[in-house]
Amino acid sequence: MSEHNVDLKPTPGDRFTTFLKRKDIRETLAWAAFYTAGFVVLGGVFYTKWMPISLSTDMKSIERLMVIFTWISAPVCGLVLSIATYTFRHGTRGDVPPEDGPPIRTNFLGVASFGAMAGILCLTAVVYGLIEMNSASEAAAKDAPSALIVEVTGSQWVWSFNYPAQGVSSNELMLPKGQPVIFKIHSVDVNHSFWPVQLGIKADANHFQTTSVTTTPNKLGRLDVKCAELCGLYHAYMETEGAVVEPADFNNWVTQNGGHSA
């Protein structure tokens, strides 16, 4: 029986091993690991320090969301930056452009790997976002019966707040610590966007329509209220202040402004 030499095509595992042995791939992956680790540290350590002070459950959720989404996107950002770094370090200089390499679209392993990684990370982000959104909706429905109602009115270029149960109106946003709050927001002219920064919520203030949003202040501190939608000439000056205070201090503030405790 004669022996025949058969040339077998390399298996996907063989191609992957050969791929990883390439010098350019090893350097690119090293840069990718470096950038990914940097983004992980950036999101986990520094983001929460750079963001506004958290005075509500929603702001704490926003902090957590920013950290998780940074971690999810870190591998993709790291890979893109590593390719750019390798290209910058080893790019051809001079007037003669280099010969084109093989197109990436014909590399099934590369396209499939990057697509699978990006797809998994995007799916993780979507699922996590939906879970957070459902949790916030459930909490809002549960807290509604005991919530403090605050009617928010936006006008060029002033915010005003009405507390119907207490019979008080003010240009300052005062809230008691620990009590859920329902903001009922509308505008008397153009569209605005109600943004109490430290509470981690933001909602449109529209003409002829009322928007509702719920949160629970859980820490004492100063509030900065801004407009987050371009609303005219003095948009940048459409801001006011307020505070999250102890319930007893809130009741005293209501009484001092001619209202009554609910």
| Residue 252 token pair | 């005293």
CA dist 193 → 130, 174, 199, 225, 228 (Å): 23, 19, 14, 10, 5
49 and 135 co-located in one domain: yes
What is the domain-level CATH number for residue 186?
2.60.40.420
Q: Which range, 18-22, 58-62, 73-77, has the best average confidence (pLDDT)? A: 73-77
Whether residue 81 is contained in a domain is answered as: yes
173 and 226 co-located in one domain: yes
225 and 117 co-located in one domain: no
The confidence score (pLDDT) of residue 139 equals 66
Q: Are 194 and 206 in contact (CB under 8 A)?
A: no
Whether residue 96 is contained in a domain is answered as: no
124 and 173 co-located in one domain: no
79 and 59 co-located in one domain: yes
Whether residue 62 is contained in a domain is answered as: yes
136 and 224 co-located in one domain: no
The confidence score (pLDDT) of residue 113 equals 77
Please compute the mean of the pLDDT values over residues 128-157 and round it to a whole number. 79
Whether residue 99 is contained in a domain is answered as: no
Condensed to tens digits (0 to 9), the pLDDT of residues 83-140 reads 899 888 877 776 777 677 666 667 677 778 778 877 887 888 788 778 777 776 666 6
The confidence score (pLDDT) of residue 1 equals 47
Whether residue 262 is contained in a domain is answered as: no
Whether residue 123 is contained in a domain is answered as: yes
17 and 137 co-located in one domain: yes
The torsion angles phi and psi of 115, rounded to 5 degrees, stand at -65, -40
pTM: 0.70
Condensed to tens digits (0 to 9), the pLDDT of residues 185-244 reads 999 999 999 999 999 889 999 988 899 998 999 999 999 999 999 999 999 999 999 999
Whether residue 4 is contained in a domain is answered as: no
Whether residue 261 is contained in a domain is answered as: no
134 and 74 co-located in one domain: yes
Residue with tokens 């371009």: 230
CA torsion, ordered 252, 256, 260, 262, to nearest 10 deg: -30
207 and 135 co-located in one domain: no
160 and 229 co-located in one domain: yes
Q: Could you give the percent of the chain with pLDDT greater than 90?
A: 41
The rounded distance, in Å, linking the Cα atoms of 200 and 53 is 10
30 and 48 co-located in one domain: yes
Task: Find the domain containing 174 and state its range.
Answer: 147-256
Into how many domains does the chain fold?
A: 2
Q: Are 223 and 196 in contact (CB under 8 A)?
A: yes
Residue type, 57: T
158 and 239 co-located in one domain: yes
